[in-house]
Structure 1
Amino acid sequence: MGSNVGAGGPMRPRFVLHVGPNKTGSSAIQHWLAERADQLAADGVLYPCLANGGNILGGNGNDLVALLNTPRRGAERGNFDAISSLLESYAAQAADLGCHSVLLSSEFIPLGLEENLEFFRIRASELFRPEVLAYVRDPYWWLWSAWGQAVKGDGLSEEFQAYALRNCFSYQEALTRCIQLFGNIKLLVYRDSKLIEGFAAELGVSAELAAGASNIRVNRSLTFEELEVLLVINRIFRDSALSKKISNEMLRAKPDIPHYRHFDPVLASAIRDANAPFLASLIRYMVDTGVPVIDVNMDNRSEGPQVPVDHISKELFLLVVESVKRWQDEASPYVRLRRYVMRPVSDEAGYGDELPEGFNSVEYLVLNPDVLAAGSDPVVHYLSYGRSEGRLFKRPEAGEGQSQDTPQSAEGHQ
């Protein structure tokens, strides 16, 4: 156990906030922290569990994040008191276990409401000795990682070069927010091969706790073949839920294979030059100024340009087909609805006076979900069945009503 007593009596515990930012190894760090929580406590560092116990990925700061994002109502102190109670519970746990430090990890803490963050900073300073840890990363490789994540989870179909040039300064925005909020921030330089070791050293815990941690792989990036396939899928379907489903299946099928990294020296030079003044301004916050931010080792370990994929493995093809089929089964009503929302020309136009004034296919499907679920054409269904059944075809305005009987099921109304 670490001592928490100073020469003048009990010393306030150290309160370490690890705030990312995104794409700097947070998931791997949080996985390691959750797996080693008991050993860390024995070494004097309390890593509190979430109220629901789920803190393997995503960190243990979600309880705090929820409070930081809750707006106050008028003069009520509600969430201020809740923030204070949460911090006091951390201090009590640290005292009970004899821990000299409390550690919270979440990339979302800096995104809280300004009023709540200000109260949090004040109250944390009364109970603890706060400090903030974040990572600075080579901007080229940060953008590469952010692009890959957007392809996997957000349905992005844009090639890396276009994405990187469009988002060249978003790297600065992520760190600037942390620096503006927390004046006592400490920046560590991101190195994937020594990520956990460096974090453990800054915490001041035993080096043995980080032994073997460099082998932790969480949420790996995609291979070249996987990236090419998912980019095509994203261009066709434009649905982030499908992207996420397919990429998750890819990671589950082959969790440990090496991922693809491409180094473009011309693009890297442009991005690094554009971010050079910002990187120079970070020197005063960096824990070890002897470690360069620009990661030439990563450059050397990367692959050159690849020939576009003109065929894929049978295994990957079947994985994608099965994922698309499941997605269509789960989301087909919503896919159909989106098709009507996004159509360039309305179907109603060709029916003239056959349809009542104000008829709208999208509203008809929303108001009659059984028609949507059955996959029926809304215009054909209304003319064939809906009109005689008295179904709603538009939302009534205030004081207006449409005669409507209880709708029959659309099954069989094809």
Structure 2
Amino acid sequence: MPVVAYVGYRARKRQMKLILHIGTNKTGTTALQQFLSINRKKLGKHGIYYATPPDTHNFNSVVRAPRRSMDGAPSWALLPRYHLVARQDEILGKFFVDHLVHAEREGAHTLVASSEALYCMPIHLHNPGDKNVCVDTLAQIECLRAAIPSSVNCRIICYVRRPDQYLESLYTQCVKQGMFTGEIAEFVNIVDDMLDYHRCLSMWQKVFGGSNTEARVYETALPNLIHDFLRYVLHLQESSLFAKASPRVNERLSRDLIESIRLLNKDIPCSKRTFDQRIYALVDERIADPSSNHEYLSPDERAGLLSRLEPSMKRLRTEFALPAFPQFDYEAAKAAWRSYPGLSFERIQEIECHYKDAQAHMGFRLERVFKRIASIARRKLPFLSFVLDFVRASGMHRILLVAVKRFK
């Protein structure tokens, strides 16, 4: 394991603590991250420093920082097989050390960082089947640990939900973001290792220590995961002192729109697929009587999946002292089951009409132009990346986007 170059960091007499929230996906992570971001100053009064790159609400971009392999293909692994332009451990090391220095300067005793991209390092969700991507999760976790100064006391926090519901929610997210265009049965084979919570978290235990790795059941934390995180992770009891995050975060799209996106993207190369959450949300609002059927697994498929994962879930509950996941009532599910009929021709036409109308809005068109220009500039004129990074870090791009929204 390589030694991080940033070895000059020295903690003060009071040991700095790092709380690393690793997900999982689809457990309210976006809402939690936005809450932590908008309450940075108030958290600072309690000695807690929330670490992110400038102008973002998590550090996914650091974890997923793309680097080019020898054949020019993007690689998202922390420890790729091919020579990279920049070492991922150095990127992570600089991120943590820089924020640890800032945290100590502000008098904080605890640093919090959140990225759902860390759980199981789900790089196989990007271009599934890509053989050029390293999937040695344990080595990636070891790389992450090596990037954090050894003097820092690390605590790993992971929320998990019942695997079948996690699978369905993750599937819809990957479909709507253009990352996957197949049926859910094929998707299960790709993300099967991510559903084995015990296996994944055992690797975190091995690297960070059993006493420093904690799992919490998402369903038990409801109806308010933010309150659960404040009380049981940050040990802050007065949640009313903090500003509330937007209630409309990463909302679920209708089944009809998800299916339409999946079919549309099947004929579009992965590199050219686009995802604009605001456009899709606008389209979803305009669909007349959309399908509310969000059960992608039949009762038999659901029961089979849970039965196969039960030994792992039992070990997880035992080792992490977790409450049981909500029970699946097979008979009730079978009685209520209605398979999704698919999209009618009329529904496809309706969605296409709403989508074209939403895309034609001047504000969305200008925003796409800005993003396209920035993307081309980074690719064709690498030296401009420093200017674009400065614009992003300074918040100037957000001012431009706010101005653009006036056209929407």
TM-score (norm 2): 0.60
2:213 aligned with 1:185, yes or no?
yes
Q: Deviation of residue 272 (structure 1)?
A: 0.8
In 2, Cα distance between equivalents of 1:41 and 1:208? 14
Letter in 1 for 2:354: L
In 2, Cα distance between equivalents of 1:306 and 1:295? 24
8 Å CA contact 2:138–2:203 kept in 1: the answer is no
Match of 1:244 in 2: 274
What is the count of residue pairs matched by the alignment?
307
Match of 2:401 in 1: none
Correspondences of 1:20-99 after superposition (within 5 Å): 20-50=23-53, 53-56=54-57, 59-60=58-59, 62-63=61-62, 66=65, 69=78, 86-99=95-108
Letter in 1 for 2:253: L
2:235 aligned with 1:204, yes or no?
yes
Q: For the structure 1 residues 241 and 321, does the alpha-carbon distance in structure 2 shift closer, same or farther, using more than 3 Å as the test? A: farther
Q: For the structure 1 residues 215 and 195, does the alpha-carbon distance in structure 2 shift closer, same or farther, using more than 3 Å as the test? A: farther
2:282 aligned with 1:282, yes or no?
no
In 1, Cα distance between equivalents of 2:80 and 2:181? 36
In 2, Cα distance between equivalents of 1:243 and 1:83? 29
In 1, Cα distance between equivalents of 2:139 and 2:60? 18
SS in 1 for 2:25: coil
Q: Deviation of residue 64 (structure 1)?
A: 6.4
Counterpart pick for 2:326 among 287, 290, 294: 294
8 Å CA contact 1:137–1:293 kept in 2: the answer is yes
2:194 aligned with 1:194, yes or no?
no
Q: Deviation of residue 35 (structure 1)?
A: 1.6
In 1, Cα distance between equivalents of 2:352 and 2:191? 34
Task: Give identity over the alignment, percent.
Answer: 18
Residues 83-136 of structure 1: CA distance to partner in whole angstroms, max 9, x if unpaired? Answer: 555444333322232222101111334649977854653574633211101121
Q: Deviation of residue 187 (structure 1)?
A: 0.6
Match of 1:222 in 2: 253
In 2, Cα distance between equivalents of 1:142 and 1:104? 22
Match of 2:164 in 1: 140
Match of 1:354 in 2: none
In 2, Cα distance between equivalents of 1:246 and 1:101? 35
8 Å CA contact 2:160–2:216 kept in 1: the answer is yes
In 1, Cα distance between equivalents of 2:31 and 2:196? 23
Match of 1:176 in 2: 199
Match of 2:175 in 1: 151
TM-score (norm 1): 0.60
8 Å CA contact 1:245–1:323 kept in 2: the answer is no
Structure 1's unaligned 5+ residue stretches are 1-8, 331-414
> Who wins on radius of gyration, i.e. which is larger?
1
Residues 191-237 of structure 1: CA distance to partner in whole angstroms, max 9, x if unpaired? Answer: 363222222222222442587858633222220221232233234x2
* Greater RCO structure (CA 8 Å; 6+ sep): 2
Structure 2's unaligned 5+ residue stretches are 1-11, 68-76, 122-135, 362-367, 369-408
Match of 1:349 in 2: none
Counterpart pick for 1:319 among 329, 354, 361: 354
Match of 1:337 in 2: none
